[in-house]
Amino acid sequence: MKIIYHKQVVKYLNELVDVLYEQDYFGFKESAYDYVDWILDRVSKNIGTMPPKAAPEYFSKYGENLSYIRLKRNTQTTWYVFFNQENDLFHIRYISNNHIIAQYL
């Protein structure tokens, strides 16, 4: 299995570290890095095993025929990973959480 992250996803995750730290979600920048590492770890552990769902039409701006999986962080936050799959190759096109995209799912 191989996972490829779209450059916009990589940019988003890098910026997420700064946002989480600067907006005081975490008191230490290392904790914000750990949080993003948790997302990446869960993607690699779950993307090939969790049954994906078809992404709603709203998300077609990130790619055609997208699927997604959910990664539950806690009772308040769930992350959604949108991707295309070609055999054992997963192209991650978009990542966001329920606080931002719940109304579109």
pLDDT at 10: 98
pLDDT tens for the 105 residues of the chain, in order: 999 999 999 999 999 999 999 999 999 999 999 999 999 999 999 999 999 999 999 999 999 999 999 999 999 999 999 999 999 999 999 999 999 999 999
User: Distance between terminal CA atoms of the chain?
Assistant: 27
pLDDT at 90: 98
* Cα angle for residues 16, 61, 71 (degrees, 5° grid): 45
User: 8 to each of 28, 51, 70, how far by Cα in Å?
Assistant: 25, 25, 19
CB neighbourhood size of 62 (10 A)? 19
Total domains, the chain: 1
pLDDT at 95: 98
CATH number for 78: 3.30.2310
Q: Which residue segment(s) compose the domain that 98 sits in?
A: 2-104
